[in-house]
Amino acid sequence: MARFAPFVALLLLLIAPALAEPPPTVAPGAAQSVQLQPVAIYGADGRVVSFPDPNRTMVMPFVRATGSGFIFPATSSPQQFLVTQPAGTTTYRAYNPCAAADVRITSVSALEPLVAVATEYPGVARVTSRTGTIDRFSGTRFGRGAETLGSAANPMGGPNRIVSIMIVPIPGYPADLSGMTCEFELMYGSGG
């Protein structure tokens, strides 16, 4: 019998893992609710490796409110245009196609009763009455390409918005923009 003891012990060592209970899929004491979020992730040394930022906002894709945007013929002289911002829109995507100039744009208020005339651009009227005006130091500057921004409060209130726009030199490049027109595009939507 003593001769068989080592073989029995070896056999038990080989068979024991197959007969053992598998480890739990969730660690004992860990939360098992799908609604809970981890508070912190710890490394092997017991120190926090990652901590979720409770102030982090989720970025949603830009969703346009209409099929097409507004196009403004921007020149080196400030011009004002009237557009109707679609209800419920919170952001806008702007596109500057000009390789030789940046664009400055802002919303302004009417300084007298509003007078506007139609342009060749759908949904865009040129304001001919006195309004606030952008200059090369104010508003938001857009370089070549597309950018999405949150829409500021309309100084006029309501859906009608006066947009003041002009082209400005790209820093470090020649400043003569006379005779240049840049068709700047603005599309309202949400997300971004």
SS3 167: strand
Residue 8 resides in a domain = no
CA 38-41-46 angle, to 5 degrees, is 135
What is the spatial distance between Cα 184 and Cα 94, in angstroms, rounded to a whole number?
7
85-112 residue pLDDT tens: 888 888 888 999 998 999 999 999 999 9
Residue 46 resides in a domain = no
What is the spatial distance between Cα 165 and Cα 186, in angstroms, rounded to a whole number?
11
Tell me how many domains the chain contains. Answer: 1
pLDDT at 155: 86
Residue 56 resides in a domain = no
pLDDT at 20: 64
Residue 4 resides in a domain = no
CATH of the domain at 81: 2.60.120
DSSP state for residue 76 in the 8-state scheme: S
Mean pLDDT along residues 118-142 = 94
Residue 38 resides in a domain = no
**Which residue segment(s) compose the domain that 175 sits in?**
63-190
Residue 82 resides in a domain = yes
pLDDT at 36: 47
Report CA 50 to chain centroid distance, whole Å.
Answer: 25
Residue 2 resides in a domain = no
CA-CA-CA-CA torsion sign (87, 156, 97, 181): positive
Residue 118 resides in a domain = yes
Say if residue 149's pLDDT is above 90. no
